């Protein structure tokens, strides 16, 4: 039995095989219909040749001609209907398969435990969209490949019956064309994979810039950030140009080779007719097939390129789908109660950080170094695996490493300073699950009441993606209302009032202290109103707790604290 640690990651080829295996029925039906389409297309010049040959005979009859014309009508009808329904079946299967892979990749990105993959969220988004679509194309590519092969075989057999040299020319020419193009398609696959990676990196850079645009403007770093994006974008552009050149060479070569083969068939048929070895009807058939064969040859010769693109996209999806989790969480659940203990934690700027918050206490932590505050919040949110830092964090007396991530986050909510706002309504952002019984209290405590009263729809007011139709302060209060409405045993707030005015901040501090009375609350902040509302303040400096007292006592006795938090 293979353990999870010894299982080999699924490469892109396995993903393609999975896509093919679960669409066998649709592919079989689509292949039959598209095969009928190609066979009908091939039969058309054959029927024309037979009609011409019949017309040139001395014993021709109007009835036979009518039958031949009726056969042409049947062929045209078959071609039309088989194409219509064949493409409908294949495109439905293609779209459905792309959706399945998008859901799989998104599920991996949304799992509580992150995966050990060096990809940013923008890159994962590109994989879940473009790469999923291009991987699913294999469902459509294979039937098209088979149906094109059917057309080429039928044309080769028909020409071979007229003269074996014509049939042999088609077969040998097709093999030669595919041999040349298969070599070129490998270059397309590698170039496309690199292009997709660079475009994804550029997309991730854009997402980062949009998220941090205001802080960048604040300290004048926006120009440097834009230059960084321009560099990444330029690299993506150059790679896209390279891919376009390779695709252009491939398409031009395929078209030239196909034209050469069609010309060779036409000239050979003309020579054979001139020599009297084939009749006029067979010449018409050969010339018609030489023109028709260009389309299936074009499709057939393009298939290796699409297969390589699908393979490259599948390999990128495998980066996400096969990446192991960064840690293996426990399966326990926190006991009732809200005490929190950080015991000698060392991570980044944190040096043997040690403090304890009993159940029901309101504690404020002011960090002189922003990085230390961010790292502490990440550790408490279980964004940093317990085995990635020294020391222990205990929730209700149990170590984080022994608990499941889902249960920890249900018991202890860590609300980040840059909480995401989703497209929907104010209500759906405050109470996404629709189960909270404290929405009115959370709205009032977060001072979101003015936003609700401002709009006729109240809590049902539509909110755009990322809260684009809200101000910075409104977005921050909406995020705070969501955290308060969750009503968890332990609530950790990281800089919840940096974008609101001083008066509103004072009211929020009092409201939060009142609403959370008797529930464990930790606020990582430098806001004087929040520090004053706390039962006690912990000063985090140089990675350790250096002072502990009430806000007012620290203002009176600690000059460094006074200069750090006074506004």
Higher pLDDT, 527 or 108: 527
Q: What is the pLDDT of residue 7?
A: 41
Q: Identify which of 539, 536, 533 has the alpha carbon closest to the alpha carbon of residue 562.
A: 539
Give the least confident one: 4-8, 91-95, 224-228, 234-238: 4-8
pLDDT for 216 = 42
CATH class (in words) of the domain with range 340-565: alpha beta
| Model pLDDT for residues 536-567, shown as the tens digit of each residue | 999 999 999 999 999 999 999 999 999 888 76
CA 250 to chain centre: 29
Residue 281 in this model has a pLDDT that exceeds 80: no
Mean pLDDT, range 264-282, rounded to an integer: 82
Mean pLDDT of the region 250-268: 81
* Range 336-349 average pLDDT: 90
pLDDT at 220 over 70: no
4 falls in which pLDDT band (50, 70, 90)?
very low
Cα–Cα distance, 312 to 291 (Å, whole number): 34
Residue with tokens 């007292």: 549
What whole-number distance in Å separates Cα of residue 424 and Cα of residue 491? 25
Tokens linked to 121: 């969220």
Burial 378-401 (b: 16+ CB within 10 A, else e): bbbbbbbbbeebebebbbbebebb
In 3-state terms, the chain is what percent helix, strand and coil (to 5)?
65, 10, 20
Alpha carbons 429 and 436: distance in angstroms, whole number: 12
Is the CB of residue 273 less than 8 Å from the CB of residue 290? no
Mean pLDDT computed over 422-439: 91
Report in angstroms the alpha-carbon separations of 216 from 201, 209, 222, 242, 371: 20, 8, 5, 33, 16
Output the CATH code of domain 12-321.
Answer: 1.20.1560.10
Residue (of 308, 310, 309) closest to 18 by Cα position: 310
Comparing CA positions, the residue from 269, 267, 207, 268 lying closest to residue 232 is 207
Residue 464 has pLDDT above 70, yes or no: yes
DSSP letters of 252-297?
A: HHHHHHHHHHHHHHHHHHHHHHHTTSS-HHHHHHHHHHHHHTHHHH
Q: Where are the domains of the chain?
A: 12-321, 340-565
What local confidence, expressed as pLDDT, does residue 199 receive? 61
- pLDDT per residue over 141-167, tens digit each? 889 888 888 888 888 888 888 888 888
Alpha-carbon span 261 to 293, nearest angstrom = 9
| pLDDT confidence band for 299 (50 / 70 / 90) | confident
* pLDDT at residue 218 is higher than 50: no
Helices marked H in 110-137: 121-126, 132-136
Least confident of 234-238, 407-411, 552-556: 234-238
> Higher-confidence residue: 229 or 91?
91
Residue 279: count of CB within 10 angstroms of its CB: 16
Q: What is the pLDDT of residue 5?
A: 39
Q: What is the pLDDT of residue 385?
A: 87
pLDDT of residue 213: 47
pTM: 0.65
Task: Answer yes or no: is pLDDT of 489 > 90.
Answer: yes
Query: What percent of the chain shows pLDDT beyond 90?
Result: 37
Residue with more model confidence, 540 or 179 = 540
Tokens encoding 509: 């501090």
DSSP annotation of 341: E
> Which sign, positive or negative, has the C-alpha torsion 9, 11, 14, 16?
positive
Check residue 517 and give its pLDDT. 93
Confidence of residue 494 (pLDDT cuts 50, 70, 90): very high
Provide the b/e sequence for 506-529 (b: ≥16 CB within 10 Å): bbbbebbbebbeebbbbbbbbbbb
CB 538 within 8 A of CB 355: yes
Higher pLDDT, 74 or 364: 364
Please provide the average confidence, as pLDDT, over all residues in the chain. 83
Closest by CA position to 225, among listed 263, 496, 58, 233: 233
pLDDT of residue 308: 79
What's the confidence (pLDDT) of residue 194?
62
CB of 499 closer than 8 Å to CB of 472? yes
Return the DSSP state at 368.
Answer: S
Of 470 and 65, the one with more pLDDT: 470
Task: Tell me what the mean pLDDT of segment 188-215 comes to.
Answer: 57
C-beta of residue 105 within 8 angstroms of C-beta of residue 320:
yes
Give residue 6's pLDDT.
Answer: 38
Phi/psi at 431 (5° precision): -130, 75
From the centroid of its chain, how far is CA 549? 48
């Amino acid at each position: 039995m293979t353990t999870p640690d010894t299982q080999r990651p699924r490469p892109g080829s396995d993903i393609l095989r999975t896509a093919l295996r679960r669409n066998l029925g649709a592919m079989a039906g689509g292949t039959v219909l598209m095969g009928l389409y190609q066979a009908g297309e091939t039969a058309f010049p054959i029927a024309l040749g037979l009609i011409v040959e019949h017309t040139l005979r001395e014993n021709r009859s109007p009835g036979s001609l009518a039958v031949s014309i009726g056969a042409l009508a049947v062929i045209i009808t078959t071609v039309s209907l088989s194409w219509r329904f064949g493409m409908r079946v294949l495109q439905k299967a293609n779209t459905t398969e792309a959706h399945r892979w998008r859901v799989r990749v998104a599920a991996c990105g949304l799992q509580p435990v992150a995966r050990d993959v060096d990809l940013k969220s923008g890159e994962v988004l590109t994989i879940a969209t473009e790469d999923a679509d291009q991987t699913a194309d294999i469902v459509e590519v294979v039937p098209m490949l088979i149906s094109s092969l059917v057309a080429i075989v039928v044309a080769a057999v028909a020409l071979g019956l007229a003269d074996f040299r014509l049939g042999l020319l088609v077969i040998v020419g097709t093999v030669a064309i595919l041999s040349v193009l298969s070599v070129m398609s490998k270059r397309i696959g590698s170039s496309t994979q690199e292009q997709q990676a660079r475009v994804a990196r550029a997309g991730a850079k854009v997402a980062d810039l949009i998220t941090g645009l205001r802080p960048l403007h604040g300290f004048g770093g926006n120009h440097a950030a834009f230059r960084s994006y321009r560099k990444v974008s330029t690299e993506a552009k150059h790679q896209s140009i390279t891919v376009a050149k390779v695709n252009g060479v491939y398409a031009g070569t395929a078209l030239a080779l196909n034209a050469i083969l069609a010309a060779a068939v036409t000239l050979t048929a003309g020579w054979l007719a001139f020599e009297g070895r084939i009749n006029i009807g067979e010449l018409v058939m050969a010339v018609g097939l030489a023109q028709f064969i260009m389309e299936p040859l074009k499709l057939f010769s393009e298939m290796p390129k699409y297969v390589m693109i699908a393979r490259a996209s599948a390999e990128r999806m495998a980066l996400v789908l096969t990446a192991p989790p960064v840690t293996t969480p426990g399966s326990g659940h926190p006991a009732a109660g809200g005490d929190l203990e950080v015991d000698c934690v060392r991570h980044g700027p944190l040096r043997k950080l040690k403090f304890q918050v009993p159940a029901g206490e309101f504690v404020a932590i002011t960090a002189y170094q922003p990085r230390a505050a961010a790292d502490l919040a990440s550790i408490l949110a279980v964004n940093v695996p317990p085995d990635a830092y020294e020391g222990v964090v205990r929730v209700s007396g149990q170590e984080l490493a022994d608990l499941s991530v889902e249960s920890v986050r249900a018991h202890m909510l860590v609300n980040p300073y840059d909480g995401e706002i989703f497209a929907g309504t104010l209500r759906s952002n405050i109470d996404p699950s629709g189960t909270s019984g404290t929405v009115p209290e959370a709205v009032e405590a977060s001072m979101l009441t003015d936003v609700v009263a401002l709009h006729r729809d109240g809590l049902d007011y539509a909110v755009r993606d990322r809260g684009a139709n809200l101000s910075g302060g409104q977005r921050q209060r909406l995020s705070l209302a969501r955290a308060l409405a969750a009503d968890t045993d332990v609530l950790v707030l990281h800089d919840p009032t940096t974008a609101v005015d001083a008066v509103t901040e004072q009211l929020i501090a009092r409201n939060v202290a009142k609403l959370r009375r008797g529930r464990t609350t930790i606020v990582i902040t430098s806001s004087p109103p929040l520090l004053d509302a706390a039962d006690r303040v912990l000063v985090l400096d140089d990675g350790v707790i250096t002072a502990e007292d009430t806000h007012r006592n620290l203002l009176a006795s600690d000059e460094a604290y006074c200069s750090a938090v006074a506004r």
